[in-house]
Amino acid sequence: MEHKSTMRKIGAGIIALLIVTGSFATPPENLKNSAMEKFDIHVFPALPYAYDALEPYIDARTMEIHYDKHHRAYFNNFIAAIKDTPYDSKTILQIFASVSEAGDAIRNNGGGFYNHVFFWNNLSPKSGKPSAELTEAINKAFGSFDKFREAFSNSAKTRFGSGWAWLYLTSDKKLAVGSTPNQDNPLMDVSTIKGIPLLALDVWEHAYYLKYQNRRPEYVDAFWNVVNWDEVNRRYAEAIK
C-alpha cells in the first residue's frame, strides 16, 4: 500500500531527526532573555578588576592564582574537550541543558569555565545594594534580606567538599538558594537545583585557603562586602522578564 509506505517513510524521517537533534536539549524558554545567551564559549574574558581590587576580603595572590591558573585551566581544558565535536558550535546554555550526555571533561571544565566568569562579574570593590524589585522578591521568598543572607551563607558553609552556593530564579519565577557540588550549576540538567543563576559563591578551598586556611565561614562572611549588586540587579531584571 502506497499510503502505508509513505507513513513509514515519514516515521523514519522523524526518528532520524530525533537522533540528529536529540543530544542537544533546548534550554528553558525563560532563559532566552538572559544575557548568558551571549556568552562566548571560545573567549577567556579579562578579569573585570585588578587582582588586589577586592582586598582585604579576597587577597590579591588568591585572585591571581584563582583567575590565571585555576580558571584558565578550566577554559583550556574545555576548549580541548569540545574541539572537533558538535559542542564547538553550541551555546553554553545548550551544552549545559544536556550536559549529562557530554561527558565529565565538558561537564567539569565547561562548568569551571562558565561559573568563574559568572562569579568574577558578581564581585566588585564597590558593592552597592539590591534594587527595589530584587529587595521585594527577596522579602517575599525569604522574609527579609538578613534571612536571605543567612540562608545563602548556610548553603555555602555546609556544602560538603568543593562546590558553589547560588541564588537563582526557579522556573516559576521564585527566588531560591542552594548549592552544587564540584563545578555543576543550576543550568545543568544534572543539577538537583535548577533555574537561572543570579549570584554565585565559589567555596572550593582554592578560593580562600591562602588567606582563610580552613575557615570557610570567615570567607563566606567577608564575601558580602564585595557582592556586585548592580550586576545581580541586572541579572534579576533580565531573568524575570
* Binding segment toward Mn ion, per CB under 5 A, in 79-87, 140-148, 154-162, 200-208: 200-208
SS3 state of residue 208: coil
* Binding segment toward Mn ion, per CB under 5 A, in 28-36, 146-154, 165-173, 205-213: 205-213
Of 119 and 142, which CB lies nearer to Mn ion in the complex structure?
119
Residue 184 near Mn ion by CB under 5 A: no
Residue 202 near Mn ion by CB under 5 A: yes
Residue 166 near Mn ion by CB under 5 A: no
Question: In terms of DSSP bridges, do strands 175-181 and 196-202 run parallel, antiparallel, or are they unpaired?
Answer: unpaired
In the block, residue with C-alpha cell 540528529: 20
Residue 118 near Mn ion by CB under 5 A: no
* Binding segment toward Mn ion, per CB under 5 A, in 57-65, 177-185, 190-198, 206-214: 206-214
- Report H helices in the chain: 2-21, 60-65, 72-82, 92-97, 104-121, 132-142, 145-158, 209-212, 216-223, 229-240
How far apart CA 233 and CA 189 sit, in angstroms, is 25
Residue 96 near Mn ion by CB under 5 A: no
Return the closest-CA partner of residue 195 out of 6, 25, 27, 8: 27
Of 9 and 69, which CB lies nearer to Mn ion in the complex structure?
69
User: What single DSSP character describes residue 41?
Assistant: T
Of 58 and 239, which CB lies nearer to Mn ion in the complex structure?
58
In the set 74, 75, 204, 212, which binds Mn ion (CB under 5 A)? 204
**Interface ranges with Mn ion (CB under 5 A):** 202, 204, 207
